[in-house]
Structure 1
Amino acid sequence: MLKELSASSFGMGAHEDVEVGRDLRKPLLRTGVWYAMQGEVSKQSTLSRSAKNLRSGSVSVLLCVLIVALGSAQFGFSCGYSSPTEQDIMSDLDLSVSQYSMFASLVNVGGMIGAVMSGQMAEHIGRKGALMIAAVPNVLGWLAISFAKDSSFLYIGRLLGGYGVGVISYVVPVYIAEISPENMRGTLGSVNQLSGTFGTLLAYLFGLFVNWRILAILGSLPCLILIPGLFFIPESPRWLAKMGLTQEFEASLQVLRGSDTDISLEVDEIKSCVASTDKRITITFAELKKKRYWFPLMVGIGLLMLRQLSGINGVSFYSTTIFESAGISSSNVATVGLGAVQVFGTGVATCLPDKAGRRLLLIVSSSAMTLTLLFVAVAFYIESSASEDSQLYSIMGILSVVGLVAFVFAYSLGMGSIPWLIMSEILPANIKGHAGSMAILASWITTWVITLTANLLLDWSAGGTFTIYAAVAACSVVFVILFVPETKGRTLEEIQSSF
């Protein structure tokens, strides 16, 4: 009976491939038990108004997004942790500057390892299963850091945490894109970046009041909540359809769209897309020459690399140093303020992708980044030629800080969140695992390069550093205009078929 159903839905040839894939790829976590309970409730004739509202499609999707966004908050907390803890960790464990720099950078090394594995992991055991595997080492990593007696435990903990966020950085935006209705995908996709910036802000803020060991314990909380939360949300319906799990696919989609919603049209569209997709687990490098493969992969990698090469992590990781060079005495408090600006800017941008469109926001954001970075560069150039006790020196210091704040806000409006959203939307389903891993790996390598070189460049010339970053931001404007497609108001199946 199951074979007949699958054959009628996807075609006999496709069915055979799916059966092979099903032996290799099974969901680690089944559909959430909370949704099963909701299904039972829906059978009852009398329901309270709150129960009906709870089962509405928009509420269901939003709850799923908020749960998986805990992983993004973990990502942001990991990135922000090293800034407020540097002096305390070096003092307590007697670390040198180079040893602490190694500790801070290992999150990028772990992220690279996680990125390599993330795509295939998400394809083999499902999006929820991959998040579970990412969450567990994250928690263990934070515990290792909290109880560290020497640098070795710090390094192990940072590597484990980096591995977890490397997987999370791919799986969370993909899961959100695959469960969201087309008219909400931009807004919900932006929650990924908003949650990440909020996690970074919390690390900066709590770092002012608690020591580094307690801060590490606090860092484990998002994933400690995420782990049980994964049991209460459905697996991605598009992944279930790809695996040939027809009944679970339709049940998952029905829950996400609401019990009273007619999902037949969306079901047929997803089935048609799956039926026309190559079911092979891998494709050859020769086949990447096809535009339907190389073009979306190039766009995804290009956007993720350009957002990093514009210097955002250089500013985030070394904001204290930058503020000190600008003459700001309370550099830690200023760093918290910069984090708050990023959260505010990302929050403002959350509702814009589905209204203004992805391309327009990317163009506006990268153009504004170019102008603000040039402004900062000019301010630092003038400051370097002025006497430290002159009024001009003080004015240029203030203007450089204003420019940095404007840069972070401009970044948050588009380049902060939309590249992740575009990447999750445009990659074809049959290469999403491999291509997604390649895109995330490229992003992590670029992050590592910027983190490694930013401090050296700032020592060389602050004005020159920001001039380089401004040139990259200008390249981003050209790249978006020439290559990035508009995905607003289109289903994932329509986007993929356009290539």
Structure 2
Amino acid sequence: MAIDHNMETSENRLQKEIREPLIQYGEDEDRKSTNDSHWMVYLSTFVAVAGSFEFGTCVGFSSPVEAALRKDLNLSIAQYSVFGSIVTFGAMVGAITSGTIADFIGRKGAMRISAVFCIAGWFAVYFAEGATSLDIGRLSMGYGMGIFSYVVPIFIAEIAPKDLRGGLTTINQLMICSGVSFSFVVGTVVTWRTLALIGLIPCFTNLLGLLFIPESPRWLAKTGHKKEFQVALQKLRGMDADISQEEDEIQEYIDTLEKLPKAKLLDLFQRRYSRSVMIGVGLMVIQQFGGINGVVFYTSQILSSAGFSAKVGTICFAFLQVIITIFNALLMDKAGRRPLLLISTSGLVLSCLLIGMSFYLKVHELAPTVVSPLAVTGILAYIGFFSIGMGAVPWVMMSEVFPLNIKGAGGSLATLVNWIGAWTISFTFNFLIQWSSYGTFFLYAASNAISILFIVMFLPETKGRTLEQLQAAINA
């Protein structure tokens, strides 16, 4: 059906009029007020990313406990594959509902619901005596992870200054990596039931911290909570700051936003949104089909199969992941998104080839002394190159490329696609390894090579540009 040209022109004009009152500061603001604002933004970010850390502990749980858990509960490979991958199925459901929940009860309310589901999941795993309880627990944790994966970066983006937006949003990925690494390291020295109890700590940290931070002022203004909106904005900008001008700007922003048509999921497939959807969804596809969840979920198995100490390898894996992700956070707003992604995907191709070659040599009984060093080098290189770009950049760009009136629907779709990809990779990994250990990683190498073409041909650079500039360029 043809789109009315006047209506489309009017919508584009309204979008261009929108400003970013919550993510910029006037150059003449008092320095003390700015510092106060940053302090509350940092505290709010810390509380939010406790959910990201929880996300990471859930993802990392299955790798270090595989041998002990399978032995204690007498699980088959198929049963453990279901246990490892069902968390992503729960996350798909969480992703579908995350936008609606966050819009209906607020960003803090969505994080509370997510934490509660994760708590229930950890208790189910702790008390498990068979596969059913394990799967129910992982499914519950997955639902919470699906909500966390959407609401945490959205919440941070809504309170972060523009010059810190990339770095602060990257902290989300840093804490996910830290959670994965934490599970890897601690899981080598405690029982799997103890590790499940430890997983409760970030949940309770998030729930407690939410009592001390403000709700997103943008959400409060959008839902008509004027008094609460003023209080939240004052906390974020500092108690001595004059917020009157910014308050007016935010209200003007919301009034303009309300004039835009309400977007539904099917509206994303209109031609004028096609490039935003292609970028947001495409990034999630290339992130997952490069094999990350197969490598993370089954690191211990890969290293053991290659004849290397799983305990030593996972600890090295864990520390490298955190260090490189910190480096990535520092570079995000300096080097740019595209260069980091290109370096990352190029390194992933090489890493997968190294791992694949190690298994090829092992299967054909060639150069046995080279197999283990080659596998470990490939695994460590893989996580290092993934962390430098492909881990965080897709989530940062997802929060940047969608126009404001479709951000909720677009973000939910991109998150859903990400979790579908995660489930596909994590569920099929064991079966692919049984088919061909080296062939599996050669397939991942090919997928990452295709990702390079996607980045070169379709991705814009978003560093140092306002959201309005990006969306105008993308949807021109």
TM-score bracket relative to the smaller structure = 0.7 to 0.9
User: Per-residue CA shift, 1:83-130, capped at 9, x if unaligned?
Assistant: 222233333333333323322222111111111100111111111111
2:269 equivalent to 1:288: yes
Q: Could you tell me how far 1:325 is from its partner in structure 2? A: 2.7
User: Are the counterparts in 2 of residues 359 and 480 from structure 1 also a CA contact under 8 Å?
Assistant: yes
Q: Could you tell me how far 1:411 is from its partner in structure 2? A: 0.7
d(CA) in 2 for partners of 1:418, 1:463: 28
Aligned to 1:33: none
Give 1:338's match in structure 2, choosing from 310, 313, 317: 317
User: Are the counterparts in 1 of residues 300 and 310 from structure 2 also a CA contact under 8 Å?
Assistant: yes
Note closer, same or farther for the CA distance 1:234–1:151 as it changes in structure 2 (3 Å cut).
Answer: same
Greater Cα offset, 113-122 or 355-364? 355-364
d(CA) in 1 for partners of 2:405, 2:146: 21
2:132 equivalent to 1:132: no
2:125 alignment partner, SS class: helix
Note closer, same or farther for the CA distance 1:460–1:98 as it changes in structure 2 (3 Å cut).
Answer: closer
User: Are the counterparts in 2 of residues 78 and 219 from structure 1 also a CA contact under 8 Å?
Assistant: yes
User: Are the counterparts in 2 of residues 56 and 257 from structure 1 also a CA contact under 8 Å?
Assistant: yes
2:50 equivalent to 1:75: no
Greater Cα offset, 92-101 or 351-360? 92-101
d(CA) in 2 for partners of 1:425, 1:260: 31
Note closer, same or farther for the CA distance 1:183–1:268 as it changes in structure 2 (3 Å cut).
Answer: farther
Aligned to 2:17: none
Q: Could you tell me how far 1:383 is from its partner in structure 2? A: 4.3
d(CA) in 1 for partners of 2:130, 2:442: 40
User: Are the counterparts in 2 of residues 379 and 400 from structure 1 also a CA contact under 8 Å?
Assistant: yes
Letter in 2 for 1:61: V
- The answer for unaligned runs of 5 or more in structure 1 is 1-13, 15-51
d(CA) in 1 for partners of 2:197, 2:354: 40
2:66 equivalent to 1:91: no
Aligned to 1:414: 389
2:223 equivalent to 1:243: yes
Aligned to 1:176: 156
User: Are the counterparts in 2 of residues 177 and 425 from structure 1 also a CA contact under 8 Å?
Assistant: no
Give 2:137's match in structure 1, choosing from 151, 157, 172: 157
User: Are the counterparts in 1 of residues 306 and 358 from structure 2 also a CA contact under 8 Å?
Assistant: no
d(CA) in 2 for partners of 1:220, 1:146: 11
2:38 equivalent to 1:58: yes
d(CA) in 1 for partners of 2:436, 2:49: 38
Alignment of 1:178-327 (within 5 A): 178-259=158-239, 270-277=250-257, 278=259, 280-283=261-264, 285=266, 288-291=269-272, 293-327=273-307
d(CA) in 2 for partners of 1:58, 1:228: 21
1:310 alignment partner, SS class: coil
Give 1:431's match in structure 2, choosing from 400, 403, 406: 406
Note closer, same or farther for the CA distance 1:350–1:138 as it changes in structure 2 (3 Å cut).
Answer: same
2:188 alignment partner, SS class: coil
User: Per-residue CA shift, 1:413-455, capped at 9, x if unaligned?
Assistant: 0110111111122222322222222111111111111011222
2:351 equivalent to 1:372: yes
2:122 equivalent to 1:145: no
Q: Could you tell me how far 1:259 is from its partner in structure 2? A: 4.2
d(CA) in 2 for partners of 1:174, 1:83: 29
Q: Could you tell me how far 1:323 is from its partner in structure 2? A: 1.2
Aligned to 1:455: 430
User: Are the counterparts in 2 of residues 70 and 223 from structure 1 also a CA contact under 8 Å?
Assistant: yes
Q: Could you tell me how far 1:497 is from its partner in structure 2? A: 4.3
User: Per-residue CA shift, 1:445-479, capped at 9, x if unaligned?
Assistant: 11111011222222222332222111221222222
Letter in 1 for 2:423: W
> How does the TM-score come out when normalised to structure 1?
0.83
d(CA) in 1 for partners of 2:465, 2:250: 13
1:95 alignment partner, SS class: coil
Aligned to 2:446: 471
2:163 alignment partner, SS class: coil
Aligned to 2:5: none
Q: Could you tell me how far 1:404 is from its partner in structure 2? A: 2.0
Note closer, same or farther for the CA distance 1:128–1:118 as it changes in structure 2 (3 Å cut).
Answer: same
Letter in 2 for 1:130: A
2:75 alignment partner, SS class: coil
User: Are the counterparts in 1 of residues 64 and 300 from structure 2 also a CA contact under 8 Å?
Assistant: no
Note closer, same or farther for the CA distance 1:265–1:356 as it changes in structure 2 (3 Å cut).
Answer: farther
Note closer, same or farther for the CA distance 1:92–1:377 as it changes in structure 2 (3 Å cut).
Answer: closer
Q: Could you tell me how far 1:489 is from its partner in structure 2? A: 2.1
Q: Could you tell me how far 1:334 is from its partner in structure 2? A: 0.9
d(CA) in 2 for partners of 1:199, 1:141: 16
1:276 alignment partner, SS class: helix
Letter in 1 for 2:205: I
2:372 equivalent to 1:397: yes
d(CA) in 1 for partners of 2:435, 2:416: 29
Greater Cα offset, 269-278 or 462-471? 269-278
d(CA) in 1 for partners of 2:445, 2:79: 31
> How does the TM-score come out when normalised to structure 2?
0.86
